[in-house]
Amino acid sequence: MQVHVLDGSLRPVPPGTPGELCIGGAGVGRGYLGRPDLTAERFIRDPFSAEPGARLYRTGDLARRLPDGRLVFLGRIDEQIKVRGYRIEPAEIVAALNRHPAVEESVVVGHQAAPGDTRLVAYFVPAPGRRPSRAELQGFLGTRLPDYMVPGTFLALPSLPLNASGKVDRAALPAPEGDQLLRDEAFIAPRTPLERRIAGILAPLLRLDRVGVHDNFFMLGGHSLLGTQLIARLREVFCVDLPLRSIFRAPTVAELSAEIERLLLEKLQALSEDEAARMLR
């Protein structure tokens, strides 16, 4: 029996790269009883065998091969989440999150915040006596995963709901809101009218009930599309020429406030005496 880890085009992937677990050799069955459609999908011609009629079984399981040849099971391919054009394997995020000393177990799902806007939500059971902050978990994952794989929302639960087969019952997970929603311990509310106005624009855009002055737009689930909407709204409200790159350079309420103050001051200083006088009438 031969075990392969293959990409979508049935090509072997390098060690460490996730792929579909496929099995070939004499031990492969002939198909599913009474399911010719599923048989045709899962039992295909084996491209790695010279034996006439040899079949390759596509398991639908996601795995990666370690340098020593061992295989690590990552979950089912049908559990993939597509976020902003990226296909994400939740099991990879779970594996990384479970390595945090304050996390006993976890599950990651895609939550549709709005049509076409899917966001990653991590549910986890804290280790006894531990209560990590969102910033702590995001920082931990940020050193191990690409930015687009770091969840913006974390919920702490006493236990993960299980179905009759002992697997996590995703349908029974609570909505990502309320008291279980993990927040940063160092939350600082907006302090000035300008910061409050910016936070008031950010919160509904990110579908949050509050945004602190030092909360990072991208760590809260923001992305380039929402960034475009945010910049358009800030331009409309404050009448300043705020470039899109501003959200990358100044991703917090405090930093955006400072940037807008600077632009407003430049705009004021550029006024002529007559223009300034007309504005004061």
* Sequence-ordered strand ranges (E) for the chain: 2-6, 19-24, 43-45, 55-65, 71-76, 81-83, 86-88, 103-114, 117-126, 153-156
What pLDDT does residue 181 have?
A: 53
> CA quadruple 166, 168, 172, 174: dihedral positive or negative?
positive
**At the fourth CATH level, which superfamily is domain 193-280?**
ACP-like (1.10.1200.10)
What pLDDT does residue 193 have?
A: 92
pTM of the model: 0.56
Terminus-to-terminus CA distance in the chain, angstroms?
87
What pLDDT does residue 179 have?
A: 47
**At the fourth CATH level, which superfamily is domain 80-172?**
ANL, C-terminal domain (3.30.300.30)
pLDDT mean values, one per 10 residues, the chain (281 residues): 86 86 84 84 87 88 86 76 79 88 90 74 90 86 87 88 81 71 65 92 85 81 83 90 85 89 84 63 57
2-76 architecture in CATH? Roll (2.30)
